[in-house]
Structure 1
């Protein structure tokens, strides 16, 4: 499906999308007769879906309604079950988290437009904003979501490795060392799994583009739950720290700068804010343990997104150098494994 960018929704747009948009407008008391009343603004930074802001004039004169249209990326069903993701989306809304679901069509959905700004890469380094994000992430992890509460990370890694092997050319499979990664996943699961580790409902994709802030009341909203599942909270923290090396709005969004990976004190400050958001003074030993666990889980994050990049290069048509992104994440996997998990041997 294609939406005309920087203009109006064309007459060739799918009838299902036009019908749902008109139905949403009608529910709000706005009667749309001509599709050119819907104005389209593309929103950048998404790497799984394409997202658009849709505006139209209201019957109240001079005012405009806004919704967000999410067009699903091609082939992304290999990463997650879309029905499960929709259920998560609806449940999050019922918990007062994130936007409301306004309508669905075969290739996507229409969501409430949140009147807040999306964070930038620089915002993640702002101590005040970072503390707000940490508190919101703690709240997210404490959500009681339906379904099994088992760790999904290792099963998902094995599923993605299988998909990558099916899609890759023999040359690419050798380049990325796919035949060795099954053993790597087994080692990581054995070494990182702990009986007393905290499991929570994890976002699993907490890059800055999935965090919004209302400037007036300084409220944080986490969006985009495609990859959300129960996982060790240390893994989710690790994933967020790894995302601080990215700037998806630069001229080279696929290039990661690990020289700006947060240092120990920056990570410690985030974890103190995370633990302390409950109102209790963080205990130093608890902070240090979670800090150490999160650093170890960075290797799982690199492997996760490395496999994601390989698969995306074959199934997703969004303009992004997925293969180079995968190379960098897997290169960092081997580097971080040597540092964070020195005890591991094949």
Structure 2
């Protein structure tokens, strides 16, 4: 669930970056909304001007003003568009991606940090390149890949690719602070959820007792044995792309990326296997799809050996146990996110029901994973 934030550096003018010829390919984020194809009026004059200037640097474009604007489905807080131009050679059209930032969700992360992360990961060859910026969004490179679907996450061969890529991602040496952000993020989001919620909502979600639950998790899960890495923190299927020619995956959308325990990142990915955001009821989760023990063990094994790690069986089992415990943190994080989103986001999605399901899973699994410490829901 791509989940969004803030204006880039207060910059009011569009910027074109790296207008390269290394563009094109069938980038498929979600599904093309054919009913709205070629709706140029969805983009401001400033954005179209930047796109035309970008296209003018390519010598195979018939007319840089002859752009097609195709909305893509699948984004929860941004508006995302495929932009393409016909070429003289008859080759596949030149394509880029335009991302218009969602409104009212700057509580979730700092857009400046997200842009810096995007640029760093791009330079490391881990994702699409940044081609241009404007105050309310950016232009990205298309990559030769398709977005995964919910069923893809359960395929052993794809899951293995994700495990290896995630280990590689966690090893990125992102500049800046390497402190764990998870617990402060949860506390900040809890404060916002309380401020936005009615008394009835706060009571139904046990928000007044949630600070105690967060403290319990922080105390129980923190430890010297925890491995800290640069985590994606939102590894649902829509944020993973696969190139079926090279049999490789790319992680995209780094709005929530930060340093965290790697067990949390893996746990969050496992929890996302319960979701399918492309159904008539995208808010409904099926935790019967949560991976079983053997699937989890296989994922962790591939994750560890992919970089040549030599871990003992005991260390591997410890990571598997930690991942299960961090699933509780994942439920609270996205439950709080959903409550806030329900108040600030206009997208047609039942955020409150999604929050209810995430909190329900927290209470259902807490006792078996942590014991009976802490309050129970009324």
Range of TM-score over shorter length: over 0.9
What is the aligned partner in structure 1 of residue 51 from structure 2?
21
CA contact (8 A) 2:62 2:86 kept: no
SS in 2 for 1:87: helix
* Cα gap change, 1:31 to 1:105, in 2 (>3 Å): farther
Instruction: Say if 2:312 is the partner of 1:286.
Output: no
- Tell me by how many angstroms 1:162 deviates: 0.9
What TM-score does the superposition give when structure 2 sets the normalisation length? 0.87
TM-superposed deviation, 1:73: 1.3
Query: Greater helix share, 1 or 2?
Result: 1
Instruction: Look up the match of 1:60.
Output: 89
Shifted more, 288-297 versus 321-330: the winner is: 321-330
1:31 offset after TM fit, Å? Answer: 6.7
Shift of 1:27: 2.4
Distance change in 2, residues 1:219/1:43 (3 Å): same
Kindly report which structure 2 residues correspond to 1:1-346, keeping only aligned pairs within 5 A, or say none.
6-11=36-41, 13-29=43-59, 30=61, 32=63, 34=65, 37-61=66-90, 63-280=92-309, 282-342=311-371, 344-346=373-375
Aligned residue for 1:248, secondary structure, equals: coil
Pick closer, same or farther for the CA change 1:258–1:63 going to 2, 3 Å.
closer
TM-score by length of 1: 0.95
Cα 1:104–1:4 change in 2 (3 A) is farther
Give the whole-Å Cα distance in 2 for the aligned partners of 1:283 and 1:57.
55
Range 131-140 or range 14-23, more displaced: 14-23
RMSD: 1.7
The answer on whether the counterparts of 2:283 and 2:349 sit within 8 Å (CA) in structure 1 is yes
Write out per-residue CA displacement over residues 183-220 of structure 1, whole angstroms, 9 at most, x where no aligned residue. 11111111110122100000000001111111011111
| Of 290-299 and 245-254, the range deviating more from structure 2 | 245-254
Q: What number of residue pairs does the alignment pair up?
A: 342
CA shift, 1:5, in A, is: 6.2
Q: Which runs of 5+ in 1 are unaligned?
A: none
The superposition leaves residues 93-152 of structure 1 with CA deviations (integer Å, 9 ceiling, x where unpaired) of: 111110000111222111001110111111111111101100000000000001100000
Deviations 1:60-103 (A, max 9, x none): 34541111111111112110000100000000011111000011
2: CA distance between counterparts of 1:123 and 1:282? 28
Structure 2 distance, partners of 1:75, 1:221, is 28
Cα distance between partner residues in 1 of 2:242 and 2:43: 32
* Alpha-carbon contact 1:4-1:10 (below 8 Å) kept: no
Counterparts of 1:293 and 1:125, CA distance in 2:
21
